[in-house]
Structures are given as C-alpha cells and as structure tokens.
Amino acid sequence: MVENKVKVFGEYLKNKRKEKGLSIRKLEELSGVSNAYLSQLENGKRGMPSPEIIKKINGPLGVEYDELMEKAGYIDLHPETVSIIKNNDLNEVLTNAAEIFIKSVTGKDGEITPDYRNNIIREIQREYSIGKSEVEEIVNDDFINKLVKNLTLEEKISFLNIMIKDFEERNIDAQGVFETSSICKNNTVKTLRVPVLGHIAAGLPITAEEHIDEWTEIPNMWNLKESEVIVLKVKGDSMIGSRIYEGDRVVVKLQSDVESGEIAVVNVNGDEATLKRVKKSQNGQVILYPDNPQYEPIFIAHEGARIIGKVIQVIFEPK
C-alpha cells in the first residue's frame, strides 16, 4: 500500500517536471537536490520526500507547497503546521517542539513529573502487559530525552502537529512559539524594545517604574508600536495546562478587551494582575479560568475586571 503511494507520487513528480520542460539535471540546478535522489524519487525507490526537500523543489516545479505536501502524504497535517514548516527551518522547529514538550512534563530539577510518569507507566503496562516494577525501571528521568531522540522524522512531525492543534485549542499563537532564530538573524522582522514587568499593581499606570524589572528586545511579528506591548514574568502554576510555567514570560498586547476564550492579563477587583483565560457569560459576568485543575475559576462582575491586554506569545524559559 505504502509502496503504491510512493510510486504514484513519483509519477506525479515526473509529470510536473516534464510539464515545466525541465530535465532532472536542470531541476537539480534549480533546487539544489541531487539528480540521483530526484531520479529515485520519480521511480518510487526513495520513499516520500521530507518537508525540507519539498520546500526546495516546489518553486522550480511551479507547484504550491501545500499541494506537494498533500501529494506526499502529509494531508492530515493542520494548516498551521504546514505553514510553520514552510516558513521556518524544520530542524529548528522540531528541536523547539522537543524542548517545549520535555519542559512541560519535567520539573525544574529535570525529573519527570509524578503525574506524567504514572500515566506513561500505565500506558506501557496496558500496551505490553509488563509488570509495574519492570516498567518503573524503564521510565527513569532520562526516558523522555531518549524517547524524543529516537523518534523518526515522520513521528516528530506528527508530534509537532499534535502540539500545534493543542496550541490552537488553547488560543496560543503557534507561529510565535515556533519562531526560529534564523528569522531574526536575517533581519526580516524588526524588533521592539519593550519593558519586562515583574508584576502589575492596581491603581498605577501599567508601565510605572515600580513595575519594570528590565527592558528587552523582541521580534515584532505583529507590526505593533513599542507603546502597545509589554512582557510580563509569569508567577505561579495556574496556567500550566497551556504550557505556561513560572519563570516563563508572556508577550502582552495592551488592549482593554479580549474575545471569550483568549488568555489575558487582568486586574481583578483592584488586586494585582493575574494571567487567566477569559470567558464571558451572556449576563455580563466574566469568568477567569486557570488552566490547572487544582485551581477554581474566578467569577466576577464585568466592572470588577480590568483587562490589561491579550497574551500573543509565550517565551519559554530554558532550564
């Protein structure tokens, strides 16, 4: 079955090349992909090309990247995943994804969190009928690193796709999360100099000197003005379900309102600002949801909630 798909793709590739009037040698020259590899692709002897190879050949063939990705069997990928792979270095994106995942299931000491470790143990026992003590020896603190390292390229891309779907469900900007350093190095994105706030107390201007710990520069992917953005240091663990941990930083676009379901920075009843997911009821009540089942939602009247801004990017703090 897989072999037939590979041959069908090879024929499709050959037809597209001939439609453009290109020899394999010419396609090699235009794409930087060796003619030997291209020949094997067309003859169905090399399996499906990686997204990076597709990125190199789609232009010379005059075929949209998304179309080639679909023909190569990446049809089930979320559109945002395809876009991120297309616009960034794949290896850097996959490395970032692995680091984000590892951080989300380990503590500050690098050990697997008890809940995640127990989940893994249960899944392995159920799948392979192995005794618990034997599984516990396998699932040590280096287990996650080894697991991620041994994934195939297809498995890594599939895992990236799952993460991006999850980000979308949680209203997290996946493009911002997986923004690679190469974009900044190429100066294709201008930077913003913005204040980094340790907290936001009620009754003071947002950027009051008392709030500012330091200043930093961030890529301006949103074409915003410096006065429209702040960076806030995350405190506590109420948003770990959205993979936002204490010590991380969130980029906040200053605005007085957000859509229901978005993550925002909010002053509640004159207290210090908090980071929560905002839900709005039809009767005007505002519900601030933590993304951690250990905490209860906060129910407040609309006039008691002062929305400071919307979280548009999470800057994950490396260990």
The identity of residue 31, as a single letter, is S
**Model pLDDT, residue 185:** 43
The identity of residue 91, as a single letter, is N
**Token couple for 164:** 């991006």
CA-based nearest residue to 20, from 68, 62, 70, 56: 62
Average the pLDDT over each of 63-77, 113-127, 220-234 and give the range with the smallest value: 113-127
Average pLDDT over residues 157-162: 86
**Model pLDDT, residue 156:** 86
Q: Which of 238, 242, 253, 310 is catalytic?
A: 238
Residue 63 or residue 112, greater confidence: 63
Which residue in this structure is represented by tokens 């396609």? Answer: 27
Residue 112, strand partner residues? 106
**Model pLDDT, residue 319:** 46
Give this prediction's pTM: 0.50
- Average confidence score pLDDT of the chain: 82
**Token couple for 240:** 């770990």
Phi first, then psi, for residue 196 (nearest 5°) are -105, 115
**Model pLDDT, residue 21:** 93
CA-based nearest residue to 273, from 311, 305, 301, 231: 305
Rounded-to-integer distance, Cα 295 and Cα 158, Å? 32
Report residue 183's pLDDT band, with 50, 70 and 90 as the boundaries.
Answer: very low
Catalytic, 238? Answer: yes
Identify the DSSP state of 298. E
Angle at alpha carbon of residue 114, lines to 109 and 116, rounded to 5°: 105
CA-based nearest residue to 56, from 73, 68, 74, 71: 68
What is the distance of C-alpha 104 from the center of its chain? 12
**Model pLDDT, residue 189:** 53
Asked if the model's pLDDT at residue 179 lies above 80, the reply is: no
Rounded-to-integer distance, Cα 166 and Cα 81, Å? 11
Asked if the model's pLDDT at residue 127 lies above 80, the reply is: no
Render 162-200 in DSSP notation, one character per residue.
HHHHHHHHTT--HHHHT--HHHHHTT-S-EEEEEEES--
**Token couple for 238:** 């109420």
Which residue in this structure is represented by tokens 């190429």? Answer: 186
Catalytic, 242? Answer: no
Q: Which of 55, 156, 253, 276 is catalytic?
A: 276
